[in-house]
Amino acid sequence: MLFIALKNLFQEKTRLFISVGGVAFSVLLILILQGLLQGFSFRIGEYIRKQDADLWVGDARARDMFHSISLLSIADEEKIEGVEGVESVSPFLARQVVVATAHKETATYFIGYDATTGVGGPTKVVEGKETPSNGEIIVDRVFAGNHKVKIGDNLIVGQSNFKVVGVSTGTNLVSFQYSFVTKEDAERTLSMTGQTNYFVVKLKDNSDRERVAQEIKQNLPTVKVFTKEEFVDRNTEIVRDTFLPVVRVLLVIGFIVGVAVIGLTIYTSTVEKSKEYGVLKAIGVRNSQLYKMVFAQSLVAGVSGFLFGSLMALVVNLVIDRFVPAFITYFRLIDFGWVFLASVLMAILASYIPIRRIAMVNPAEVFKG
- For 94, counting Cβ atoms within 10 Å of its Cβ (0-12 exposed, 13-18 middle, 19+ buried), the class is buried
**CB contact set of 94 (below 8 Å; sequence gap of 6+):** 65, 109, 110, 111, 112, 197, 198
- Report how far residue 220's alpha carbon sits from residue 348's, in angstroms, rounded to the nearest whole number: 59
**Residues contacting residue 70 through CB under 8 Å, at least 6 positions apart:** 58, 59, 61, 62, 197, 198
The residues spanned by each domain of the chain are 2-45+237-366, 61-221
Q: Please give the pLDDT value at position 92.
A: 92
pTM of the shown model:
0.72
pLDDT per residue as tens, the chain (369 positions): 555 555 655 666 676 777 778 788 888 888 888 887 777 777 777 888 888 889 999 999 888 888 788 999 999 999 999 999 999 999 999 999 999 988 788 889 999 998 888 888 998 899 999 999 999 999 998 899 888 899 999 999 988 999 999 999 888 876 788 999 999 999 999 988 899 999 999 999 888 899 999 999 999 999 999 999 999 888 888 777 777 777 778 878 877 877 777 777 766 766 666 666 666 666 676 767 767 777 777 788 788 888 998 999 899 888 877 777 667 778 888 989 988 888 888 777 777 777 666 666 666 655 555
